[in-house]
Chains A and B, each alone.
Chain A
Amino acid sequence: MLVENLSSFRNEFSPGAHTELRAQLNRSRRVAMVSGSLAVNSRSDVSGVSARVYRGGTYGFSSAAALDGDSVRAVLSAATQNALFMDRHIARGMPPLPSVPAIEHSAPYELADPPQKVYLDAVRELDSYISEKYPELAGRTVMAYSDWVEKQLCTSDGCAAFSSVPRSYIYIGLTAVADDGSPVELFDPDGGFGVFDAVFPTVDPVKERADRLYELLMHKREGVYAEAGLKTCILDGMLSGMLAHEAVGHTVEADLVLSGSVAGHCLNKQVASELVSMTDFAHTAFGETAPLPVRFDDEGTPASDAELIKNGILTGYMNNRELARRFDMAPTGNARAWLFSDEPIIRMRNTAVLPGSSKLEDMIASVDDGYYLINTGNGQADTTGEFMFGVTMGYEIKNGRLGRALRDTTISGVAFEMLKTVDMVSDSVVWTSSGFCGKKQPMAVGMGGPALRCKMTVGGR
């Protein structure tokens, strides 16, 4: 436990106000080798305690970088005073939050923190493998990374819970020079939930991914620029996951709905083809543990799946307790904080387009002139649903067959218009969980989806 008997401080909570008390430790480990030079070799442990108090419709929050009893009392006092300040000046006059079921939860495992040597050895082995096998590469980056969040939560509703969520990844970036002299690069993350040496007991599977990445890079090196305009595209799972997260997910976060997102006017309306359904999974998806499982959120709400789109109809928002009341919805448990010093805000967990019944090969074969878009570097979206994704790997499709590879390009559209053009959905889901979502604070999220056939604006050059 981070703080012994955290729940014993409940009797020091301010009467009549909703209070959350959280102790937290964030670990991160990072080793990066850039073209054979060990450029990063670092470890970080950040811990502390925070309190948030809800009174009359506004919140007070405080945190301190310590885990002792005096610090717990200090942040409880400061958060309470801040809540009183806001209530006195803003005076919304809102009643207390409806209660949620009290939960007691403990992480069912105890894990050892691998020494730095484990990360260094993995990176060295992979860098040597790549440099020896592919000496003609212009540049290479190998990075091992893990973060691990432990949280201990106690609320005035009776929640007393502990969670431990480690995730670990190896990222490989390769750069080659094309015949025209311009550098061409590709990047691939591998990994998921778990401590580093459990996720990567050996790096042999990552070597196979490096081989595949090199193969794709050689295709891209010979690649062409996509033709700009509205095209028939098949978005592979990585891209449909990005679509689920960026273009739809953010617009159906209840705080962004409140701020005027496009989804505010679309509840119970058709926003996508009937083939499209989308859910933000809490901890279990398709009968298996989701990539980054969340059992309870940082307001003490038991986490449940948030159905967002069902058969093309927008059916719900992700919320926190305050906005669940405002929108007359059940709390979904989406309020999460990244560091001890962050307050819980509405965040996605494992957001995915649900699979359909088509086979990817049939989908490709059905396109006369279009693109198969496989990988993305990053993506951004607007609260209007207008989105943009960078595409780092893809192929032309000509007469139902894959053609030349593509150089970097961009795709864009308006989510609730583009999703209405989806006319085929593949039967398997690809998940990813290696990145961070940015919304005031960073947050680890999972996203996934099947391949989608749709109409999409391609940026070209």
Chain B
Amino acid sequence: MSRPNTASKERYDDMEQLNDITSAAVKKLLELGAQKAQACAARTETREFNVEGGEFNLLRTLFDNSLSLTAIKDGKKGSISGNRFDGAAIAEMAADCISSAADGDPDPAWDIAPAENRGSFLVGAPECDLDLFFERLRELVADIKTRHPLIMIEQLIAQHIKEKEVYLNSNGAHFETTSGCYDVSLMFSAHEGEKGSSFFETSVRTAELSKPMIELGSFESDLAAVEKQIDTVPVEGKSTGTMVLAPGCLNEMLEMAIFNFTGDIPMLNGTSIWREKLGQKVADERLTVSRAPFDSRIVFGERHTGEGFASEDFDLIENGVLKSFSLSNYVANKTGLPRAKNSSSCLLVAPGERPLAEIIAGIDNGILVLRFSGGEPGVNGDFSGVAKNSFIIRGGAIAEAVSETMISGNLDQMLRSIRDISCETVENGSSVLPYIAFDGITISGK
């Protein structure tokens, strides 16, 4: 395989250039009157294969830059971002950034990280083995056709992203990061004649290509589940039962709760119903939820926040007790609460003690939900939406796939109503999550 644009490969290896760019940008912002300034510059090189309608149809090679500047002048903050690295562009961006700050409002809560935040990191797999990557993808497509003949690959997007990044601020905080990983996102549905299932999407992030891709993450189990969803039945009537969330869906529901109850905007607005709950019980005592970009099972984890603080793993909820909000440094300063120790989306939930099959065997009336298609929950945590790619649980066993079935409840109450947590977890490179069964969920059909 020939490598397009080899000149950019040479250019790419030059971390010094990124250091020069960030130094020049910070210097310029200070010259223009900023008391505090930060710059983050990155070069990325992306290789991407696409499969559409079951067939390979596109190879992309992307060379991109990014430069973001922040200035604090007289307590006022301005931010600007762009993708040009030439001296004229940096000078223009710096002037625009200062101008935006000058027009803003003073707020003592704006700040940048202190000097002790420094580091140099190598994360994941920066070099792409394009030929092996392509072979593994062809193998994945072939394995799906062989093992799951009813599956139609609607879209497969497989990328290797290589990045070099430098962060620098006027206090002296400085990070150099070289990173890379393979991301494979698979969207598919099952078909038989004119009948078809709902689409499903699953993804994996990995730093190495030693295994067939179908063995990674939950690809195999997700493909097998969707093959059983061509024939569906609507749930009749309305009942209260147990909802078992598969790991991918658990991720989505937990993120909604974390945003609604611990995020910047609800905390700044004062609308979070957990705003007074730090150190108090907010969930079942078996629940521990962490943000852990340094966990060995996480690929490409964050090493510093956008505000220049070195990232650290932390627990959001430990044994049911709220241990941290998800606050930026700005909102932490506004509210007087501690900032979150990282701003990543790497979500880990501690496993339980019983296998999923045993948990399901104890459920008389419930639903196993693989995907939730719902409106954004209200600020009070109320949610409702359609249970997609889901199966009814009846008499302790997984029964028919369902259609046109709504589930509704309240995220706050849900976290307090955990029936059980599985001992199995799915590791997809971005998260490590079990299945969790929640009681008291409204399940309704036509």
Contacts and interface: CB of A to CB of B under 8 A. Distances in A.
A341 B269 CA distance: 36
A81 B100 contact: no
Interface of B: 1-2, 4-5, 7-8, 52-65, 77-84, 96, 99-101, 103-105, 107, 109, 134, 152-155, 157, 189, 191, 194, 196-199, 238, 264-265, 268-271, 273, 330, 334, 373-376, 378-380, 382, 384-386, 388, 403-404, 406, 408, 442, 444, 446
B83 A228 contact: no
Given A48-B64, A383-B196, A460-B444, A412 B189 contact: no
A228 B5 contact: no
A382 to B, nearest CB: 5
Given A64-B8, A138-B269, A259-B53, A43 B80 contact: yes
A74 B4 CA distance: 8
A252 interface: no
A38 B446 contact: no
Nearest to A73: B5
Given A182-B380, A341-B64, A384 B100 contact: no
Nearest to A27: B82
B379 A185 contact: yes
Interface size class of A (residues with CB under 8 A): 35 or more
Interface stretch (A157-165, A297-305, A388-396): A388-396
A138 to B, nearest CB: 6
A86 B60 CA distance: 10
A412 B404 contact: yes
Contacts of A66: 84
A384 B152 contact: no
B406 A390 contact: no
Given A62-B62, A260-B196, A388-B374, A183 B446 contact: no
Contacts of B408: 228, 410, 459-461
Contacts of A389: 375
Contacts, number: 263
Nearest to A80: B4
13 contacts: A38-B104, A42-B79, A74-B63, A117-B103, A139-B269, A140-B269, A141-B269, A175-B271, A259-B53, A265-B194, A383-B196, A440-B157, A459-B408
B55 A90 contact: yes
Given A44-B81, A388-B374, 20 more contacts: A37-B268, A41-B77, A62-B4, A62-B61, A63-B60, A183-B378, A185-B379, A228-B406, A259-B152, A259-B189, A265-B194, A382-B388, A384-B198, A386-B198, A386-B386, A386-B404, A410-B374, A440-B157, A459-B385, A460-B408
A47 interface: yes
B265 A382 contact: no
Interface in A427-461: 440, 457, 459-461
Contacts of A379: 375
Given A39-B330, A74-B8, A410-B406, A63 B378 contact: no
